[in-house]
Amino acid sequence: MRIIGITGGIGSGKSTVARVFQLLGIPIYSADDAAKSIMTRDPALVEQIKGHFGPEAYFPDGSLNRKFIAGIVFNDRAQLDTLNSFVHPATIRDSEAWARRQQAPYVVKEAALMYESESFHHVDKVIVVYAPQALRIQRVMQRDNVGRQDVLARMHKQLDEQIKLKLADYVIYNDEQQMVIPQVLALHERLLALG
């Protein structure tokens, strides 16, 4: 199964582009959503997290104590890196198993941290969704009801957009200057032609 990655900076419109592919009948795997689920349903991952962060990382009902984990990892980059070193491999394994179950010409894996997590090594091609920083900041402030500094702090945790563009196999511009749907349709035809 050919796996096509979609990534881009926060507020670039990755999810919007993924939904267009989904409307074309292409199965979509959201790595960010899946990671949240995997952190409670993958027994080996649960044990890793409990072993490192302590039993209070989970509530008695088995759900993740997100506030507890966030309080640790968002104040300590080393702890965040440790958590990611547990979660990213489990998510990659889950996405590969999911892809094998699909019946489509190709599938799309959407991941905010595709390059940062090194999961780009596990996809055949990467699409980067690009939008200028000012527009991305505005979108995230409106979407998440947060301030500019909060958005900038999140952006600084992601790889620079210019580096992503250089690493991309394809780019979709979501800059409010070019229409997204025709770009996705054209790219869909190219991906189908890959066989």
Q: What is the mean pLDDT of residues 38-47?
A: 94
pLDDT tens for residues 44-101? 999 999 999 999 999 999 999 999 998 898 888 899 999 999 999 999 999 999 999 9
pTM of the model: 0.87
Tokens of 185: 């349709």
Centre a 10 Å sphere on the Cβ of residue 148 and count the other Cβ atoms it contains. 11
For residue 166, with 0-12 CB atoms within 10 Å meaning exposed, 13-18 middle and 19 or more buried, which class applies?
Answer: exposed
Per CATH, the number for 33-101 is: 3.40.50.300
Domains 1-27+104-195 and 33-101 share a fold: yes
Token pair 């200028």 is found at 132
Q: Are 180 and 8 in contact (CB under 8 A)?
A: no
Q: What is the predicted pLDDT for the residue at 104?
A: 95
Q: What is the domain partition of the chain in residue ranges?
A: 1-27+104-195, 33-101
Q: What is the predicted pLDDT for the residue at 150?
A: 87
The per-residue pLDDT of the chain, averaged, comes to 93
CATH 3.40.50.300 fits 1-27+104-195, yes or no: yes
Tokens of 161: 């957009």
pLDDT tens for residues 7-19? 999 999 999 999 9
Written in H, E and C, the secondary structure of 34-45 is HHHHHHHHCHHH
Q: How far apart are CA 151 and CA 10, in angstroms?
A: 8
Q: What is the predicted pLDDT for the residue at 97?
A: 94
Which residue would you say has higher pLDDT here, 180 or 153? 180
